[in-house]
Each structure stands twice: as structure tokens, then as C-alpha cells.
Amino acid sequence: MAVFFTADTHFGDHRTINIWKRAFATTAEMDAVMIARWNAAVGPEDVVWHLGDVARKASDVPALLARLHGTKHLIRGNNDPDATATAAGWASVSDYRELELDGRRLVLCHYPFRSWNGQHKGALNLHGHSHGRLKPVPRQFDVGVDVHGFAPVRLEALLGVSAP
């Protein structure tokens, strides 16, 4: 089982193509690429933490989740209404989460923090929201699709180390 992170998919949202200059002609093309890349990277037994801003329409979320591999957890973003959070297919939903993975402490939130719990003890802050527009700071990683080829990313890739 592998663990992946992603954010800011904005499935079905034409605004993201224009605002974030995504190189897709239509939302259908964007969605098809993101679904294909998700499923190429993530296996059915893997875990994915989605750090918010899932889709334009909450009513689309259950069908999307059914098409995407893995056990999916949501860390809510500013564009995730209650109907997205309560959609069938999430293993858990929260606004913030701390967890340990491969001996590393992770602080997960949709928003990037200026400081976070355990920051000076090696904890990492994984976030979305900024679409790759923030200057990186040590131990902080934007896991959004705009930064990672429109696919979920593993912790090893963020850290630049080989997967076990």
C-alpha cells in the first residue's frame, strides 16, 4: 500500500483553466487527464489524501470518487461545500490532520502555514490552495495538481528520495 497526496483538482471547473492557465481546451479534457493520471499512479489498495478543492459541483463528487482508485480522505478546502464533504466515497473528512508516515510527522491542511506544529522538530506541512504560486519554505510542500503533473504525488517524490 502506498500513500499519495493531492489538492486543487477542481474537477469540472472551467475557471481553473483560465485563472491558473491550465493547458486544457475544456473541462472534459482536464477531468479525463486527471482521472487517467490518478488511476495510473494510484492502485485500488493505496491511500490518497486530497487536500481540498475537489470539484466545481458537489453533486459530481460521488461519481468522481467511484472512478478514482484508492481509499480517499478529504481535508476540506475553501471550495468544498458540505455536500462535497458528505459525499459517498470519503473514508474520512476533516479540516486539518496530523499524521506520521515513514517516520515523518506531517501536518495536512488545504492552506499553507507560515508556522505549524512541530515545524522546528522536522514536521512537514503539506498543503494545496496556492496552485504553485508560493515561494517554497523549508519542509513545506504544495501537493496540488498544478505542481505535480495533474496527478497525486508520494511523499518520497516530494522529498526527492527513492521509494522503498
**Domain residue spans in the chain?**
3-159
* Per-residue confidence (pLDDT) for residue 164, from 0 to 100: 54
DSSP state of 11: B
Query: Which of 3, 44, 11, 9 has its CA nearest to residue 148?
Result: 9
Spatial separation of the C-alpha atoms in residues 152 and 58, rounded to whole Å: 20
* Per-residue confidence (pLDDT) for residue 71, from 0 to 100: 98
- Residue 60's φ and ψ, nearest 5 degrees, are -85, -15
Whole-model pTM: value is 0.96
DSSP state of 99: E
The domain 3-159 is classified under which CATH number: 3.60.21.10, 3.40.50.1820, 3.40.1000.10, 1.10.10.10? 3.60.21.10
Displacement of CA 28 from its chain's centroid (Å): 19
pLDDT along the chain (164 residues), means of 10: 98 94 96 98 98 98 98 98 98 98 97 96 97 92 97 96 60
